Chain A
Amino acid sequence: QKEVEQNSGPLSVPEGAIASLNCTYSDRGSQSFFWYRQYSGKSPELIMFIYSNGDKEDGRFTAQLNKASQYVSLLIRDSQPSDSATYLCAGLYNFNKFYFGSGTKLNVKP
């Protein structure tokens, strides 16, 4: 059973702080990992993906992948109230099968 696990939260951080979201996965065969953001009542939107060990930065977002420890994280710098949403982690297996975590709810307080 391939699983992706996330802490459901809510994770609360003050505005301007760094929000750290974590995800662990069970299948070492997963090729890539994705972070999606979902606002209440809306569909998920892709933030970024990562497939190599290490860090990948895109604006205020940094994804980190550690294949040895089987975890993926997303750092959000200078958090804004508009970042408040549920963040979904997903792993890609066999090039066409995605496994989603249940999501972590982030609250950024002004």
Chain B
Amino acid sequence: GAVVSQHPSRVICKSGTSVKIECRSLDFQATTMFWYRQFPKQSLMLMATSNEGSKATYEQGVEKDKFLINHASLTLSTLTVTSAHPEDSSFYICSALDGGRDTQYFGPGTRLTVL
């Protein structure tokens, strides 16, 4: 299957700092990438849809000024959690849409812990 990488895999930061997470599609071009968040023992929650060269589309209840998404190229999307707080601690997972197969592939996830 297609490969999507995510970096870093784990980050611990102090409250008030910003954290950037990178998502890369390694063997296909992804015009669309998705960002999810998952709390322990809960379902995936879609945060936003990221389209290359345009503004991201955020789901209801997700603050766009807090979760900044940039999709600068067909293989890279970044999520920046600004002024992170302990309640932002979660498992953040990106995915990339392989348009040729109409299939979504997930990155390995980033576990964020805000102290």
Query: Out of A31, A98, A102, which one reaches B104, CB within 8 Å?
Result: A98
Query: Out of B49, B103, B106, which one reaches A44, CB within 8 Å?
Result: B106
- Mark out the residues of chain B between 27 and 76 whose CB falls within 8 Å of any chain A CB in the assembled complex: 32, 34, 43-44, 46, 49
Main secondary structure of the interface of A (DSSP, over half): strand
**Are the CB atoms of A46 and B32 closer together than 8 Å?**
no
B69 to chain A, nearest CB (A): 15
B48 to chain A, nearest CB (A): 12
Q: How many residues of A contact B (CB 8 A)?
A: 21
**Are the CB atoms of A100 and B102 closer together than 8 Å?**
no
**Are the CB atoms of A46 and B105 closer together than 8 Å?**
yes
A71 beta carbon closer than 8 Å to chain B: no
B108 beta carbon closer than 8 Å to chain A: yes
Report the separation of the CA atoms of residues A88 and B46 in the bound assembly, to the nearest whole angstrom: 14
Chain A contacts of B97 at CB under 8 A?
96
Chain B contacts of A98 at CB under 8 A?
34, 46, 104
Report the separation of the CA atoms of residues A42 and B91 in the bound assembly, to the nearest whole angstrom: 9
Q: Knowing A43-B93, A96-B97 touch, does A103 contact B43 (C-beta < 8 A)?
A: yes
- Mark out the residues of chain A between 53 and 77 whose CB falls within 8 Å of any chain B CB in the assembled complex: none
A44 to chain B, nearest CB (A): 5
Chain B contacts of A42 at CB under 8 A?
108-109
**Are the CB atoms of B43 and A95 closer together than 8 Å?**
no
Q: Which of chain B's residues has its CB closest to A96's CB?
A: B32
Chain B contacts of A95 at CB under 8 A?
99, 102
Chain A contacts of B106 at CB under 8 A?
36, 43-46
**Are the CB atoms of A46 and B43 closer together than 8 Å?**
no
Point out residues on B near A: beta carbons under 8 Å. Answer: 1, 32, 34, 43-44, 46, 49, 91, 93, 97, 99, 102-109
6 contacts between A and B (CB under 8 A): A43-B107, A46-B1, A90-B104, A92-B104, A95-B99, A98-B46
Point out residues on A near B: beta carbons under 8 Å. Answer: 31-32, 34, 36, 41-46, 49, 88, 90, 92, 95-98, 100, 102-103
